[in-house]
Amino acid sequence: MVGAGAADAGDRLPLRRDLTRVIRRYRPDIVLCPDPTVRHYGDRYLNHPDHRAAGDAALDAVFPSASTRYIFPELLAEGLEPHKVREVYIRGAPEPNFWVDIRDTIELKIEALKKHESQVGHVEGLEEGIRAWAREEATGQGMRVEKKEVRDGGSHN
């Protein structure tokens, strides 16, 4: 919905305006974005600066930009009236308070990630890595997950 490289560490105002435009156009109830406050996840990995910048821009677009009439008045000229998002879900928060069961959609997640060729097109074992990560996250939150159920997307009994 916005251009590649949009979260570059430089001027984020154009990205915030683009995200505000998307919010006003599609009028979502919920926005999902990365946690802009996390620089690293323990000894697992560093949070990419583009992900932090995208999270910052998304939160700033949700509030105050998307809901405030006088911010980005050029969007009014495009017929895009202010919109108030009801909820924001922040992915990768250190202490999450909400989880989504992705067993039925994990294949879609994997296929979507494969489209990100510049980042994961060369990664060996991507599919099993994503499944293992999902199992680890679910188990870490005390959810009972069987490998077969996560892998096959079957129902959990």
Look at residue 142 in the predicted model and tell me its pLDDT. 63
Higher pLDDT, 26 or 38: 26
Proportion of the chain above pLDDT 70, given as a percent? 82
Helix (H) and strand (E) counts for the chain?
7, 4
Fold entry, domain 8-96: Rossmann fold (3.40.50)
Q: Give the total residue count for the chain.
A: 157
**Taking residues 59-75, what's their average pLDDT?**
98
> What are the residues facing 2 on neighbouring strands?
none
Which two three-digit tokens encode residue 153? Answer: 């997307």
Indicate the domain borders of the chain. 8-96, 99-157
Quote the pTM value.
Answer: 0.75
Which residue's entry shows tokens 């079957």?
Answer: 154
